[in-house]
Each structure stands twice: as C-alpha cells, then as structure tokens.
Amino acid sequence: MGGVPRLPPMLIATVDTGTTNTRVRVWRDNVCLVENATSVGVRDTAISGNNAKLKDCVAQLLLDAAGCAGVSLNGVDLILATGMITSNVGLLEIPHVECSAGASELAKAMREVHLPEVAPKPIWFIPGVKNIPPADPSKDFSAIDFMRGEEVEALALIDRLALKGPACLVLPGSHNKFIEIDDQARIRQCVTTLAGELVLAITCHTVLANTLGGALVDQLKPEWLDQGASLAKSQGLTRAAFSVRALGTMAGANQQECANFLLGAILASDLVTLQTMLHSDRLQDAPIIVAGSSPMATAMVLLARQEPEIKNRIQHVTAEKSRNIAGYGAILVAQRRGLIPAVM
C-alpha cells in the first residue's frame, strides 16, 4: 500500500458527509471493521436552515459504529471528519486549502473541535481544497473550482496506486471530479461537473420520467451508451435528452436502454471537460485513472476508450483499490499531522 507506516492497534472512526449521505467507518490497523451509513447530508441543513438533523445523524452513526466494533464511543481513540461536513451547511466550516495541496497541506489545516452533542471527545475536521483563484474571476471563471471530500479520496488513490504523477484522476459521482495530480503527488487543480445530479434530475423531474420510470442505469448496454453520446456530440445534449422520450414511445426501447442512452448523452459532455483538461502541457501522455465500479464509472471508461487520443491512457481502478477511500485518505492526513504514531 504505497509505503504507509503500519498503524498501531488504535480504533479510529472516520465520518464522511456528502450532499445526501453520511458514512461512518471504524478502523484498526488500516482495516475497516465497521461501516454505517444513512441518507442524511448537508442538503438537510440547507433545506431546514439548521444543522440539528445532521448533528443527530452523526452522533447516532458514531454510537452505532462503535457498538458494532465492540466498544463504547469513549473507546474510540480518534475521530476524523471529511467532506461537506466542513462547509457552511455542515458542522464546522473550515476554509478550503489552496492548491497545490497534498497530505501535508491538509494536515496543517486540520481543526480540532469538541462537539459534546455529537461525541464525548474532540473531532478532527479535514478541509477541502480549491484551485488557485484567477486574478479576475469575471474573465476567467472556468478556472474556479473546489471540492470537499474528494481530496482525501484522491490522496488514498495516490497512496494505494503508488502514483507519482503527473496524472488525471476521475472520481465519478453526483458531481464528477477531474483531478490533476502533479509530479509531487499533490492535487494541482480540480474540475467539476454536475453529471450525476443531472442524470437524476432529468430521470425523475422531467417529461422523461414517464419513459424512464425513475430507472437509473443498473445494467450497462454499451451500444445504447454510444448512441446517446454520438447524438449529443452531433446535435447537443438537450436534443439527445429529448430523444429518450422518442425512443421509448415510438421506437420500443425499454427503460434500461433509454437510461443508458441518456447517461451516454450526459457523459459525452464530461468527455469534453476531460479532453479540455488534458490539453495542458503538464498532462501530455499522462495516465487517466477512473476510480470505482459504479455504472457511471464503468460507462465513463467505455466511452473514453472510443476516443482515439485518450483510449490508450485510460486505467480503471475498481474493487479493493477504490474501497473506503474517503476514510483511508483521512487516516493518511491524520498520520501526517502526527495524530497516529507509526509502528516501526
């Protein structure tokens, strides 16, 4: 695993909060013993105007996870928190760390806070990262980007893959992240799209809901992905999206075929984002590493391999290497801070 010192036999809890979900894991010696999750995230804070529900959620998940590990919450030696939990709609807002940023920069910016309504001992919060702001954002707004949570996932992958850089990491999800890794294995910049949320919104909240029946892709059909991507490239995303309805009502396509067509159309735009990022001299011939085994990740790989200029650079990291990367990355940062002594 990339030369990380073996951990002492201490129990570590990691909290990973996103827009819609929160996960708590309990670790010992780099092994995840317990994982608990619930569909509460910072969206609930944004809607209600307060973070009471999120506090209750994190407190209960920590308590349950400790119990599943066979200890009380007081028996957990260290609690780490990452993701949107450090935003203005989380539990503790911490400013982003400016790129280029690696484990050392994040470790220096960690904050220790005691929230007795959440846990009996302090929680260490790890901030997100942001791109170097342009001199005039109104004229160079495309350079503005940031993330909370994906930075520790990127650090975990860098370690597990022994990645030196330069490289481009692709982390598919509600917000697809394209992350440039520099030659010192730090995050140099990130670029974000709304792909995952857009798939969900179009599927459930447009006229296509009747055709798709709320179905997302759970069975990949490469030929339908390709057709959706091709039409989006030639006639635009909105035309391709409407064609899903025509396929379902007039061409007899089933829900999974239509869902694949829509996913392909949306990911065609993300491939433009990726290729634009790869135009940088820094990333010439650099590997492109797509993490995860979700339909979104696998579809991205399939479509990218249709592009002549990048098809031989795509690497797909699935299963073990991309499992529990948020918690593992948080532990790496905590090690760099000196919160976890190395076992020699």
pLDDT digits (tens, 9 = 90+) for 23-51: 999 999 889 999 999 999 998 899 999 99
Q: Is the pLDDT of residue 80 over 60?
A: yes
* Residue 8 pLDDT: 55
Report the distance separating Cα 167 and Cα 179, nearest Å: 8
Tell me what percent of the residues of the chain surpass a pLDDT of 70.
97
Average pLDDT on 283-289 reads 94
Q: Is the dihedral of CA 247, 251, 252, 256 positive or negative?
A: negative
Average pLDDT on 240-254 reads 95
* Residue 160 pLDDT: 95
Q: Is the dihedral of CA 192, 300, 220, 254 positive or negative?
A: positive
Which residues touch 20 (CB under 8 Å, ≥6 apart)? 39, 41, 43, 174
Average pLDDT on 81-94 reads 96
pLDDT band at 3 (very low <50, low <70, confident <90, very high): low
Average pLDDT on 72-99 reads 96
pTM exceeds cut of 0.85? yes
pLDDT tens, residue by residue, 207-240: 999 999 999 999 999 999 999 999 999 999 999 9
pLDDT band at 145 (very low <50, low <70, confident <90, very high): very high
* Residue 19 pLDDT: 86
Average pLDDT on 234-257 reads 96
Beta bridge partners of 34: 26
Domains, the chain, in order of start with CATH, read: 11-163+323-337 (3.30.420.300)
Average pLDDT on 8-26 reads 91
* Residue 165 pLDDT: 86
* Residue 237 pLDDT: 97
Q: Is the pLDDT of residue 262 over 60?
A: yes
Which residues touch 207 (CB under 8 Å, ≥6 apart)? 245
* Structure token digits, residue 149: 């949570």
Q: Is the dihedral of CA 138, 142, 144, 145 positive or negative?
A: positive
pLDDT band at 5 (very low <50, low <70, confident <90, very high): low
* Residue 319 pLDDT: 78
Out of 5-19, 146-160, 227-241, 286-300, least confident range: 5-19
Q: Which of 104-108, 193-197, 276-280 has the highest mean pLDDT?
A: 104-108
Q: Is the pLDDT of residue 344 over 50?
A: no
Q: Is the pLDDT of residue 4 over 80?
A: no
pLDDT band at 343 (very low <50, low <70, confident <90, very high): low
**CB-count exposure of residue 287 (10 Å: 0-12, 13-18, 19+):** middle
Q: Is the pLDDT of residue 136 over 90?
A: no
pLDDT band at 135 (very low <50, low <70, confident <90, very high): confident
Choose between 132 and 342: higher pLDDT: 132
Average pLDDT on 107-119 reads 97
Beta bridge partners of 32: 27
Tell me what percent of the residues of the chain surpass a pLDDT of 90.
86
Q: Is the pLDDT of residue 2 over 60?
A: no
